[in-house]
Structure 1
Amino acid sequence: MNKSSEIQAIDSTAISTIPRIDSVQTTNPVVSKPAETDDSKFKVDDISFNYLKAKTKVSYKTPKESQSFTLDIRMKKDSVIWMNITALGISVATGIFTKDMARFYDKFHGKYTELNYDSLSTAYNVKLNYDIIQSLIIGNQPFKKNKSRVIRENDYYLLKQKEGKVQIENYIGQNRKLKKLLLTEQPTNNKLTMDFEDFNSLNDILFPFSSLITLDYQSNVDQKFYQTVINIKHSKVELLDTPLEFPFKVPEKLLKKH
């Protein structure tokens, strides 16, 4: 069974023009060559915690359709992410992400799927792994051990990295918080952009309560360009030291198929 086919990418209508998202506009124009900074002395202010619990509203939009739902999120930092999807007050699906695998139980349709991240990346036409998914929820820099080239430009720092065929651009504000992350996959030029907003104090930590996720890709089927835009808004976030549970129960008859 081709497991990646069990995950349906969000249905989009082809659009002929994709807006450029691979640059950041600054208030003042750059009038001189940007200065490179020693990345060993540059530290991004990531969010430090043991466990996280959040109530989140998610909406996505394509030229063809739009939908919205609520997520209950539980997380153990750098280890496991659990999500319960609710629509119209009814739990319709559960997902759990670990370092090496993503598992989904679609209660509404009675389907269970488990995928490694290579298959998940193929299904959504962009590089995905645990650290990237954790980043889109909390705004931490996903590639920390990767040697960076740091450029100082006016009111932000630009950290450039490369991970395999993926070029990574981290846009860091003066407060050392990740404001924008751009992943560009070669040679397809597919792009995943994360913009983090609504930074508010949470346990004396600046936390982004909103994020805008934009996926631009060229279809392998018809060679046309598609775009999906996802808005994430946390209505409540708790950073905890007390361990959380991550319940994930799937009917035995569905597990036997894998």
Structure 2
Amino acid sequence: MIALLLTLGACKSTKSVTGGEVDSKLSAKNIINAHYSNQPKFKTLRGRVKIDYANGDDSQGVNVSLRMEKDKVIWMSAPLGVVKAHITPNKVSFYNKLQNEYFDGDFSYLSELLGTELDFEKVQNLILGNAVLDLRKEKFNTEVYNGNYQLKPKNAQEFFKILFQLEPKNFKIASQEISQPEKARQLQARYTYQDISGNVLPEDVKITAEEAGGLTTIDLNFRNLELNKPISFPYEVPRGYNKITLK
């Protein structure tokens, strides 16, 4: 169930995208502008995702279906509809037939799972390989690190730290990290990409979330993606299920 809620979308008839040449003289402003100029352009997305999830002794793997209407809906379903999720800018909802339970509320559930404050835009950016935070609202120092452009804020915050690496070929996020040291929280996502009809979208994503010594890892492999096809988002919580409440 947890893995399903954190899933990402997949691709069909694609080729992997590899890095290009790094220009050490490129300014942070130009790198950031290039990142936002290369955002994927589509209305709808559908595909399948292979997810491997691990948290301590608990591990599982599952293939799920993903559908998305950009900026409006993210929908996910496990085989036979055993678990379904429906996420909009205003609400997170999912149900689990195996446990006869459902959740219907705000983004506090996902925020608690990953140990950082989330909203619809951040979740969508995490899925599409975009910067989770708006890079245009911060001033950064830049350096070349492991063949990528690395961005660090010029004015470091005491309680909240961020770090971004962008690959040089298409200026997509290679790695992004958000941490709250005083709460021992850290969220990191690492990406590889593939080209889908001119749109650069994730191929593999590794999400690592740490909190108070606990470690959660989620590996996602994108498969059979199609863009701009007519899609629907069937979702209705079955009668008689118990509502999950957050403490």
Query: Which deviations, in whole Å up to 9, do the C-alpha atoms of 1:217-255 show, x marking residues without a partner?
Result: 11xxxxxx1111110001211111x44211101124449
Match of 2:62 in 1: 69
- Of structures 1 and 2, the larger Rg is shown by 1
> Which structure 2 residues correspond to residues 49-68 of structure 1 after superposition, within 5 A?
49-68=42-61
Q: C-alpha offsets along residues 126-171 of structure 1, whole Å, 9 cap, x if unaligned?
A: 3222223223322122323751323332243233469996433221
Which stretch of the first structure deviates more once superposed, 242-251 or 207-216?
A: 242-251
Post-superposition offset of 1:256: 9.2
Amino acid at match of 1:178: I
SS in 2 for 1:78: coil
Q: Describe the shift of the 1:231–1:256 C-alpha distance in structure 2 as closer, same or farther (beyond 3 A).
A: closer
Tell me, yes or no, if the aligned pair for 1:146 and 1:163 is still in contact at 8 Å: no
> Which sections of structure 2, spanning at least 5 residues, go unmatched?
4-23
> Which one has the bigger helix percentage?
2
Distance 1:250 1:210 in 2: 31
193, 197, 201: which one aligns with 2:195: 201
SS of match in other structure, 1:238: strand
- The letter of the residue matching 2:150 is L
- 1:214 lines up with 2:201 in the alignment: no
Task: Establish whether residue 37 from structure 1 lines up as the match of residue 28 from structure 2.
Answer: yes
Alignment partner, residue 92 of structure 2: 102
Contact residue 47 and residue 225 of structure 2 kept, 8 A? yes
Higher relative contact order (CA 8 A, sep 6+): 2
Distance (whole Å) between structure 2 residues aligned to residue 250 and residue 163 of structure 1? 42
In the alignment, is residue 190 of structure 1 matched against residue 190 of structure 2?
A: no
> Which AA in structure 2 matches 1:190?
R
Q: Are residues 124 and 171 of structure 1, via their aligned partners in 2, closer, same or farther at CA, if it must alter by over 3 Å? A: closer
Post-superposition CA distance 1:11-66 (Å, at most 9, x none): xxxxxxxxxxxxxxxxxxxxx9x986336972302222111001111011233131
Q: Give the equivalent residue in structure 1 for 2:78.
A: 85
Q: Distance in 1 between matches of 2:74 and 2:159?
A: 26
Size of the aligned set, in residue pairs, is 218
The percent identity for this pair of structures is 23
* Normalised TM-score (structure 2): 0.76
Partner SS, residue 118 of structure 2:
coil
User: 1:231 is matched by which residue type in structure 2?
Assistant: D
- Secondary structure of the residue that 1:187 maps to in structure 2? helix
**Equivalences for residues 14-33 of structure 1 within 5 A:** none
1:148–1:159: 8 Å Cα contact kept in structure 2? no
Match of 2:235 among 240, 243, 248: 248
Taking only aligned residues, the RMSD between alpha carbons, in angstroms, comes to 3.1
Where does residue 119 of structure 2 map in the other structure? 129
